[in-house]
């Protein structure tokens, strides 16, 4: 099973989603990097490159703020 299938169809598929992204540091095209978004212990966790090396966790208030901003930007 490849990583994308594991993260999107694995045992916690409702709590995980891999999103094709680009990386400013490595300058790859969209899809070069992947962003794993998951729900862990009540926080939204963002894991660039799906490595666990550097993750960002958003509590509920921060996640709602991000949702509001993205909704505003994307209409």
Output the DSSP codes for 31-68: TSEEEEEEEETTEEEEEETTSSSS-EEE-HHHHHHHHH
What pLDDT does residue 3 have? 44
What pLDDT does residue 46 have? 92
Q: Higher pLDDT residue, 23 or 55?
A: 55
Report field, pTM of the whole predicted structure over 0.75: no
pLDDT tens digits, residue range 6-52?
445 555 566 888 888 887 777 766 667 788 999 988 899 999 878 88
Model confidence at 66: pLDDT above 90: yes
Query: Angle at CA 32, nearest 5°, toward 30 and 33?
Result: 95
Residue with tokens 């680009």: 22
Asked whether 38 and 16 are in contact (CB, 8 A), the reply is yes
């Amino acid at each position: 099973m490849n990583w994308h299938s594991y993260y999107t169809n694995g045992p916690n598929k409702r709590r995980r989603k891999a999103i094709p992204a680009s990386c400013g540091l490595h300058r790859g095209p969209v899809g070069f990097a992947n962003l794993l978004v998951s729900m862990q212990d009540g926080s939204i966790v963002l894991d660039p490159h799906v490595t666990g090396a550097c993750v960002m966790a958003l509590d509920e208030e921060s996640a709602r703020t991000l949702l509001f901003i993205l909704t505003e930007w994307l209409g």
